[in-house]
A and B are shown apart, each in its own frame.
Chain A
Amino acid sequence: MKKQQVKRTLPDYLLYILRVLAIFAVVFMFVPGLNPARMSGLVNKTLSLFTSGYSYGKLTEEFTRAVTKGWVEEGTLRLLNLSSLGGCIGLAIVAAGMCMSLGEIKLKKLGVGVTILGTLVATGCMSGLFTAYNAFCNSTNTDKVEPIFANGLIIILAVLAVIFLLSVIVFFLLPKAKKEDKFEMQAKFKLFLLLLPFIALTLVFMYLPLWGWRVTLFDYKAGYELTGDRFVGFKWFTYLFKNAATRQDIFRVMRNTLAMSGLGLATSWCAMAFAIFLTEIKAMRYRRFIQTFTTIPNFISWVLIYAVALAIFSKEGFLNSVLIDAGIIDDGILFLQSSDHIWIKMLAWGMWKGLGWSAIIYIAAISGIDQQLFEAATVDGAGRFRRILHITIPSLLPTYFVLLLLSIAGILSNGMDQYFVFKNSMNKDTIEVLDLYVYNLGLGSGGASNVALATVIGMMKSIVSITLLFLANRGSKLVRGETIV
Chain B
Amino acid sequence: MKDINEKNEIDDKVILGMEKTSYISDGPIHNFFFKPKFKGFGQYRFSVMDAVFNVLNYFLFTLFTLACIFPFYYLFINTISDNSLTQIGAIKFYPVGIHFENYLALVNVSNLGNSVVVSVGRTVIGTGLMVIASGFVGYLVTKQEMWGRKVWYRFIIITMYFNAGLIPWYLNMAMLGLTNNFMAYIIPGIVAPYNIILVKTYIESIPAELEESAAMDGAGYMTVFGKIIWPLSKPILATIAIFGAVGQWNSFIDSMILMPDKPKLYSLQYQLYIYLSTNSNLKTLMESGGSISESMMQQALNLRTVQFTVSMITVIPILLVYPFMQRYFEKGIMMGAVKG
Interface residues of A (CB under 8 A from B): 1, 30-32, 46-48, 50-51, 55, 58, 187-192, 194-195, 198-199, 201-202, 204-213, 215, 277-278, 280-284, 286, 289-290, 292-297, 299-304, 306-308, 310-312, 315-318, 320-322, 325, 352, 355-357, 360-361, 364, 374-375, 378-379, 383-384, 399, 416-417, 420-421, 435, 438-439, 442-443, 451, 454-455, 458-459, 461-462, 465-466, 469, 483-485
Contact = CB atoms under 8 A, between A and B. Distances in A.
B329 to A, nearest CB: 7
Interface in B90-121: 90, 92
Contact of B177 (A46, A294, A296): A46
Which of B68, B148, B162, B329 is most buried by chain A, counting CB atoms within 10 A of its CB? B68
B332 to A, nearest CB: 10
B137 interface: yes
20 contacts: A1-B145, A48-B176, A188-B147, A191-B149, A194-B140, A195-B140, A198-B191, A205-B188, A208-B172, A210-B168, A215-B167, A299-B329, A304-B250, A304-B314, A307-B307, A308-B72, A417-B252, A451-B167, A458-B167, A466-B161
A455 B165 contact: yes
Interface string B52-70: 0110011011101101110
A290 B47 contact: no
A286 B25 CA distance: 25
Given A303-B273, A311-B75, A458-B165, A281 B61 contact: yes
Interface stretch (B6-14, B32-40, B233-241, B289-297): B32-40
Which of A30, A202, A210, A361 is most buried by chain B, counting CB atoms within 10 A of its CB? A202
Given A46-B174, A281-B57, 11 more contacts: A48-B177, A55-B177, A191-B140, A198-B137, A282-B35, A299-B250, A301-B269, A310-B307, A318-B92, A325-B92, A357-B333
A54 B56 CA distance: 66
A212 B168 contact: yes
B190 to A, nearest CB: 6
Contacts of A282: 33-35, 37-38
Nearest to B139: A194
A195 B92 contact: no
A475 to B, nearest CB: 16
B162 A212 contact: no
Given A300-B318, A304-B314, A191 B221 contact: yes
B273 A306 contact: yes
What size tier do the contact residues of chain B reach?
35 or more
A458 B172 CA distance: 15
A364 B164 contact: no
Interface string B282-309: 0000000000000000000000100110
A100 B72 CA distance: 57
A98 B152 CA distance: 19
Which of A199, A438, A451 is most buried by chain B, counting CB atoms within 10 A of its CB? A199
What's the dominant secondary structure at chain B's contact region? helix
A1 B161 CA distance: 33
Contact of B89 (A297, A316, A462): A316
B203 interface: no
Given A188-B146, A307-B308, A375 B42 contact: yes
B80 interface: no
Which of B60, B168, B188, B326 is most buried by chain A, counting CB atoms within 10 A of its CB? B168
Contacts of A58: 177
A312 B304 CA distance: 12
A306 B278 CA distance: 13
A329 to B, nearest CB: 13
Nearest to B225: A194
B261 to A, nearest CB: 12
A469 B161 contact: yes
B315 interface: yes
B78 A212 contact: no
A454 B167 contact: yes
B272 to A, nearest CB: 5
A205 B174 contact: no
Given A188-B147, A294-B64, A438-B166, A199 B152 contact: yes
B230 interface: no
Contacts of B35: 282-284
A212 B167 contact: yes
Contact of B172 (A51, A209, A278, A356): A209
B71 to A, nearest CB: 4
Contacts of B57: 277, 280-281
Given A201-B191, A202-B156, A301 B251 contact: yes
Contacts of B219: none
Given A277-B57, A290-B61, A462 B176 contact: no
A455 B168 contact: yes
Nearest to A361: B333
Interface string B225-262: 00000000000000000000010011111000100000
